[in-house]
Amino acid sequence: MAGSQLKRLKASLREQGITGPQKSKKQRRKQAQDDPSRNDKRLQRGVVLEGIREQFNPFDLKHAARGPKFEVTTNRPKPGNAAIKGRPGLAKAAAEEKRKQTLLVDMQRRNKVGGILDRRFGENDPTMAPEEKMLERFAREKLKSHKKNSLFDLEDDEPMDGLTHMGRTLAFDDQEDPVDDFNEDDLEEDGEDSDGSSREKRLKRLRAIIAAGEEEAEEGEPERKKTKKEVMEEVIAKSKLHRYERQAAKDDDEDLRTQLDKELPNIKQLLSFGINGARRQDNAAPLSAIAGVERDAFDKNFDIEVKRLAQDKRAAPSNRTKTDEEKAEEESAKLKKLEEKRQKRMMGEEVSDSDEDEADKKRDQVSGDMEEEEDDDDEFSLGQGIKARPTATELGFDDEDDFIIEDDLVASGSDLDLADSDNEFDNEGEEDDDSSASQAEDNEDDDDEFTKGLLNESETKNPIFQANFSSNDKNDENGLPFTFPCPQSCSEFVSITKDYDHANLPKIVQRIRALHHPKLDSKNKERLANFAVALVDFVALPWNAETSPSFSVLESLVRHIHSLSKMFPIEIARQFRHHLGEISQNRPIALQPSDLTLLTAIGTIFPTSDHFHQVVTPAMLTIGRYIGQKVPREMSDYAIGTYLSILSLQYQQLAKRYVPEVINFSLNTLCSLSPTAPSHLLGNFPIHEPPAGSRIQKAKAVGLRRLNFSDCLPEASQGGSNALKIALLSTTIQLLDAAADLWTGKSGFLETFSQAIEVLGHINSKSSREHLPAAVSDKAERLEEKLKRMSRVSQLARRPLELHHHKPLAIKTYIPKFEETFDPDKHYDPDRERAEMAKLQKEHKKERKGAMRELRKDANFMARENLRVKKAKDEAYEKKYKRLIAEIQNEEGREANAYEREAKARKRANRK
Amino acid sequence: MPAGSKDSAKRKRTSTGDKVTKVTKRRRSSNEEAEDPNAKILLMEQGILESKKNYNDIATLLSIASRYEDGEDESTLAAVTLCRIFLRLLAQGSLIAKKGLSEKDSVVVGWLKDQFSQYKTLLQNMLGDEDLAVTALTLCMRTLKAEGEHLYDKEEYTFPQAFLENIVAVLITSDNEDARKAFLESYVEEYDDIRYYTFKSVKAILNRLDKDDIPDNLFDQVYALLSALDGVPQSAEELEDFYIPRPKKKSHDLRSAIQHKRQGQDAWLAILSIVQSKDERKRILSVISTNIAPWFTKPELLSDFLTSCYNTGGSMSLLALSGVFYLIQERNLDYPSFYTKLYSLLDKDILHSKHRSRFFRLLDTFLGSTHLPAALVASFIKRLSRLSLNAPPSAIATVVPWAYNLLRRHPTCTFMIHRDVQDPELKKHIQNNGAEDPFNATETDPMDTGAIDSCLWEIVQLQSHYHPNVATIAKIISEQFTKQSYNMEDFLDHSYASLLDAEMAKDIKKAPVVEFQIPKRVFLPQDEPAANPDSLLVKLWDFGEPAKGVAAA
């Protein structure tokens, strides 16, 4: 397109049909018919003109610096007119305008103080009519004074209706409304007053009225054909009418019903009045009393009785009485479940019974992570602590609940039999009979044997019975009082029981437990807990062959502790641990017989097969420490070690865990006791140089006996008699036998017991045999044979280790993840933090640039404004200056003229 | 006699006025003499310092001081006073025989020197005394300092070595713990020159000894004195602390670190020559790599001692190991068949030894290389796992992670824990006869034990160890080897006590599980042996006659 700008403009205007040769009338009409959208022509024209303007003002638009880019797949087409990137002229104008409104105002207000701000509503709004302004202001003021702005404030709704008198409004009904006496007619007259807009409104309204009148007029005219639309409207109107009618009918019914409802009480009253009246005639005299009871009270009672009857539980079908087989089955199922749990604990798995364990489980799983666990010992045992079984209380067979007499202990022949105690308890016999049945029923109640027979439910409530108990003077035929205070410490217990024979201890404990049963007093639980702790202390008292209670008594006490520990597991466990701690602090390798009892008690009370147990694990460590570290000096040391070895084997009876110390100790014992010193190395176990005189010499004729507790006392074993040594030797051999049985399946059986075979071979050697009794050497020989046999079996069963049949670990890959909807503009930073950081940085940069640009523009604007102001000032000054100059010149000129004239005049006068 | 001549000499020089005052003073002092010996001593001191005439009192003071054995208080005071006097005199230069001195003056100087040496002897004697030793030591060292600074009026540096040697000799021979400690802490460890000359003295003293007749506790004393010295100077710059101002010449022996080290080396060599008992050797060995070897400029000199110790066997070898290793590492000592020897150290006692953790630290270093033959590494693993069958739990807790680390480092050895037999014939043989263990426990050469063809059945057995933590540790062998290596330090220092403490430290929070069934019998035989058999304990142990027990109960 060549030519000048003007030419081009003309051409394009013509092209668009905006200018052109004038069209004839005919042409125009035709065009109008062809183009129905003629009405938008004006609009179109505007658009077209705008386009032309844009086209001819290239600097108003910003285009891409270079032409369009090549088409590539990732190039997203921009929406709208992609070529135009911005309108700098417009933007600049807008910015300038904005600055004028804000910055300029600020500038002008700079260094100025005070002034009045007109905050009246609508004052600065030129679009509002003064009337509207007033109206709005009034409304606002009302609202403000009213304070109650909330739409939902119901409190003062009534006054809004205006004042009332006797429920009637204060409006003057008969008169015209004094307030609103405005009518349209008036308006018409004083139309001059109102402004244009209201007049328009009025006109509109008038028009509407006229139109309505016209419609009415139309109705009167003969029916014309209805349009489809009208038909449809009619149909709709009809259906609406029907609906309304139905609604009305329904409402009527509702009204009727409510009315009836209202009347019902009256009818009722009528009816009841009739009945009451009749009764009143019947018994007029005792009107207010029935059977001697006040009438109201009677009614009340009657109501209560009825309610009670209604609340009475209906006879529900109870569980069928189970047959013996079923019971046995249930029992075995329960045992099986318990055994399963035990197995799980043995494997060190988490066994949870309730939700509360869940949290622990999670923690355990976390800590169960091997890598972390290895790091230190503390972490190791974190995961193992399990509360596998619910306590007895939870299972509901706590011994505190039922007192069922069980004659288990009686059958054992001890004099705990209650039959020989007096008939203090009248229904004891019955109880006894019951018990055999109930025992079969509830095997759980095993525990109750300890408090058996002393109390039953009804008796506990019987005050006479309690009084009986509290009388201290009653003794049974053994001279045992029936009541004891509940000992709170070991020393108290000792002082209470010191007057009685040790044999009576179980009975005393039993009576204390019964007397201070938690059911009888709320404080008893605490007392019993202390008593249980005291019992533990009592068992741990130093043992002495003469003064200590016999083992049958100890056994019974241990069983009592066991039973109590179901009620007080934490207290008792704590006490046991306390004793273990004391041992490890004070005498780790100088155990006393009482410690042995304690360890045995732990072994029976707590499950020793658990992978980890708060009491058993330290106990086992204590045992291991002794037999592992003790260098035996006395025969008693050997005896204690042997006892502990037996005990540790017993601990591992179920779990069959390996205890290296047992092998070490027993083999060392055998070597030390053997009549001759071994000439060569017999195994990898550490050999301690035996104390002098430990070797068995010339004991051919010594009889076999079992070890007992007095052998564990250093003074008793001082002599080191051959009998004791033989006993030690034979026990150790038996111990090894048991150990071999226990660990028969272990993978290292061959290596472990090959040492034992060698040691036994040494004992069976000729030089040794001649010093040993035949029975012992026989035993040793048999064991050697047995071990050899077992070794052969073990050898046959041995397979190469294949421990690592693990799923191979996947090699870590870093192949980039395939993105389904990849967006090249987006950053796929795998590092989340870095991505966020980058985003923030970018934003910051952008903002910073924007802010700088704005500031720069602001500065420009200010400079411009200042310049403008200065220019204006200068101009004004200049103007003023010029004006003054002109004025002066004017004046001067006049003066000069006057002077000249005067001079001329004088000259002339002088001339004259 | 010298007193008289001194007096006359003094009289000549002092003026009459002076004389009067002196006389009066003397008189006064003699008056008070009876009343307060302490005051008298102080007066004497004043007198001596004021005038040469009173020098005779030095002899008096000496005689007072030498009565220390009687436990007199003033003897100590006298010694202290004498120290002060001599310090002042030395500072004045009164003990230096100058050339221009008159004959009489030189006689005085000679006499003073004599007194000074007497005093030094006295101090040495006092050092041997139980109670006065520490005081005497302080005095000795003060005197020593003054002597070193002032006695020889020359530019050259002189150290009163003979005096120090005497002091050291006294300290070594007496068994006064405090004095030795004080000497060590406040002098030898503080000052480089004192340490240097102490080493020198020790060497000299020990060399003078008759080798056939060494006092019993001599070693203990010397060892206690020297074993604490570990601050080996590495360069001349570190030699900064001098008791006596250091020699100006830079080339002086005292200012070279090498000379210091040499003295240390010589002293230790002298000590090594008096080592007699096994215990003494062990004590030497326990510090050899930390405190002794650094002194040696030629550590090869130690190699004889170390190799002989190493070959002794037992715990001695264990202790010598670190020394030998030091030599190998630092001095490139060629120890033939080192690993064979190391392997032989793995005997039945190693896991029970109290040096176990020390040994394992070294063993971990020795076997740290990945270039070791797999057969050798396998032998070590197998041997230790065999031993761990008889080991305490703490030792097992060490062995297993160690074995893990080795297996991880030497993948060839992992056949010991996972051996998939491919050969059908061999498979059949194993099916029928069981797997034989090719490991030869008696073989001494770790390359020929056949351990690489064996399996670690022992560790599998330990997976069912009674201690839960140990069992869990043992299980890492059969878990997937995901961890790069275990930090051995976490596993080394455990014992029964620490394991127990770890258990006991945890408080019971949850109710412990209680055995569900209360056994009918604990100590006594069951009533119905057929139904529930007696426990092992009851079978093997006699808890008193059951019949009687039941009757009693």
Mean pLDDT of chain A: 75
**DSSP characters over A139-205:** HHHHHHHH----TT--TTTGGGG--EETTEES--SSSPPSS----HHHHHHTTTTS-HHHHHHHHHH
Tell me which residue of A728, A813, A726 sits closest to A772, measured CA to CA. Answer: A726
Amino acid at B504: M
Using CB atoms, pick whichever of A386, A555, A566 lies closest to residue B523: A555
Rounded to a whole number of angstroms, the distance from the CA of B42 to the nearest CA of chain A is: 58
Chain B CB contacts of A663 under 8 Å are 389-390
Of A371, A391, A752, the CB nearest to B389: A752
- pTM of the entire predicted model: 0.59
**Chain A CA closest to residue B536:** A650
For the segment A281-289, the average pLDDT, to the nearest whole number, is 50
Residue pair A541/A560 in contact (Cβ under 8 Å)? The answer is no
Q: What is the CA radius of gyration of chain B?
A: 37
Q: Is the model's pLDDT at B342 over the cut of 80?
A: yes
- Confidence band of A112 (pLDDT split at 50, 70, 90): confident
Q: How far apart are CA A287 and CA A266, in angstroms?
A: 24
Chain A hits for B521, Cβ within 8 Å: 555
Do the chains contact at B457 and A798, CB–CB below 8 Å? yes
pLDDT digits (tens, 9 = 90+) for A70-93: 777 766 666 666 667 788 888 889
Beta-carbon contacts of residue A739 (< 8 Å; ≥ 6 apart): A649, A662, A663, A666
Determine the Cα–Cα distance for residues A229 and B540; give it in Å rounded to an integer: 114
- According to the model, what pLDDT value does residue A80 have? 60
The single-letter code of the amino acid at A640 is: I
**Mutation site, A337, A356, A565, A747, interface B, largest B CB count within 10 A:** A747
The helix (H) or strand (E) run that includes residue A256 is: helix A228-282
**A804, B434: Cβ pair inside 8 Å?**
no
Q: Are B466 and A652 in contact (CB under 8 A)?
A: yes
Among A384, A570, A798, select the one facing B511 at the smallest CB separation: A570
Please answer yes or no on whether A563 and B518 come within 8 Å at the CB atom: yes
CB-CB neighbours of A787 under 10 Å: 21
**What counts of helices (H) and strands (E) characterise chain A?**
33, 7
Judging contacts by C-beta atoms under 8 Å, the chain B residues touching residue A732 are none
Q: Torsion-angle region of residue B434: left (phi > 0), alpha (psi -120 to 50) or beta?
A: left
Q: Is the pLDDT assigned to residue B152 strictly greater than 80?
A: no
Could B544 and A551 be called an inter-chain contact, meaning their C-beta atoms sit closer than 8 Å? yes
The domain segmentation of chain B, as residue ranges, is 1-153, 156-274, 370-505, 515-553
ipTM for the predicted complex: 0.71
Task: Please answer yes or no on whether A624 and B392 come within 8 Å at the CB atom.
Answer: yes
In chain A, which residues have their Cβ closer than 8 Å to the Cβ of B515? 562, 604-607
Kindly state the tokens that stand for B132. Answer: 């006065």
Give the CA angle between residues A864, A865, A868 to the nearest 5°: 85
Q: What is the mean pLDDT of residues A91-118?
A: 87
Q: Which of B454, B412, B420 is nearest to A804 (CA)?
A: B420
Q: Residue B143 is encoded by which pair of tokens? A: 């005197």
Closest CA to A327 of A439, A436, A452, A430: A439
Main-chain dihedrals φ then ψ at residue A566, nearest 5 degrees: -70, -30
Min Cα–Cα distance to chain B from A842, Å: 41
Which DSSP string corresponds to B155-167? SS----HHHHHHH
φ/ψ (deg, to 5) at B235: -145, 165
With an 8 Å Cβ cutoff, are A622 and B540 in contact? no
Residue A371: is its pLDDT beyond 50? no
From A389, A577, A706, residue closest to B540, measured CB to CB: A706
Residues B414, A416: C-beta atoms closer than 8 Å: no
Name which of B476, B504, B523 is nearest A577 (Cβ-Cβ): B504
CA distance A203 to A367: 88
- Amino acid (1-letter code) at residue B275: V
How close A492 comes to chain B (CA, Å)?
22
pLDDT of residue B16: 41
Report DSSP letters for A794-848, one per residue: HHHH----B---PPPPPPP--PPPPPTT--TTS---SSHHHHHHHHHHHHHHHHH
**Would you call B504 and A415 a contact, using CB atoms and an 8 Å cutoff?**
no
- Residue A412's pLDDT is 35
**Between A67 and B25, residue with greater pLDDT:** A67
Q: Is the pLDDT of residue B90 over 80?
A: no
Distance from CA of B548 to the nearest CA of A (A): 9
Binned at pLDDT 50, 70 and 90, residue B17 comes out as very low
How much is the CA Rg of chain A, to the nearest whole Å? 58
Interface test with A, best of B347, B389, B418, B422 (most A CBs within 10 A): B389
Please enumerate in sequence order all residues whose Cβ is within 8 A of that of B109, keeping only pairs 6 or more positions apart, or say none: B94, B95, B96, B97, B101
3-class state of residue B501 by DSSP: helix
d(CA A584, CA A576): 12
A669 vs A688: CA distance, rounded Å: 9
Cα–Cα distance measured from residue A290 to residue A332, given in angstroms and rounded to the nearest whole number: 62
Residue of chain A whose alpha carbon sits nearest to that of B549: A552
Burial of B424 (0-12, 13-18, 19+ CB in 10 A): exposed
Rounded-to-integer distance, Cα B121 and Cα B468, Å: 68
Query: pLDDT of A497-550, one tens digit each?
Result: 888 888 888 888 888 888 888 888 788 888 888 888 888 888 888 877 777 778
Give me the pLDDT at residue A462, please: 41
* Angstroms from B402 CA to nearest CA on chain A: 12
Number of neighbours of residue B352 by Cβ within 10 angstroms: 17
Query: Mind telling me how many Å the CA of A320 is from chain B's nearest CA?
Result: 28
- DSSP H or E stretch at residue A660: helix A660-673
pLDDT for the residue A423: 38
End-to-end CA distance of chain B: 103
User: Looking at the predicted structure, is the pLDDT value of residue A185 above 80?
Assistant: no
Identify the CA nearest to A377 among candidates B404, B361, B495. B495
Does the pLDDT of residue A308 top 80, yes or no?
A: yes
What is the spatial distance between Cα A840 and Cα A850, in angstroms, rounded to a whole number?
15
Candidates A719, A566, A701, A706; CA nearest to A635 is A719
Report the Cα A29 to chain-centroid distance in Å: 82
* pLDDT tens-digit series, residues A388-445: 333 333 333 333 333 333 333 333 333 333 333 333 333 333 333 333 333 333 433 4
- Report residue B346 CA to chain centroid gap: 26
Residues of A in contact with B416 (CB under 8 A): 801
The residue whose two tokens read 């020198």 is B200
pLDDT of residue B353: 86
Parallel/antiparallel/unpaired status of strands A164-165 and A168-169: antiparallel
Tell me if A387 and B512 make a contact (CB, 8 A cut-off): yes
Domain locations in chain A as residue ranges: 392-629, 660-797
Q: How far apart are the first and last CA of chain A?
A: 88
Contact B540 A646 (CB under 8 A): yes
pLDDT digits (tens, 9 = 90+) for B279-302: 777 777 877 777 777 777 777 777
Chain A residue with the nearest C-alpha to that of B476: A370
- The string over B186-204, giving b where at least 16 C-beta atoms fall within 10 Å of a residue's C-beta and e elsewhere, is ebbbebbbbbbbbbbbbbb
Please tell me which of the candidates B455, B462, B543 has its beta carbon nearest to residue A800.
B455
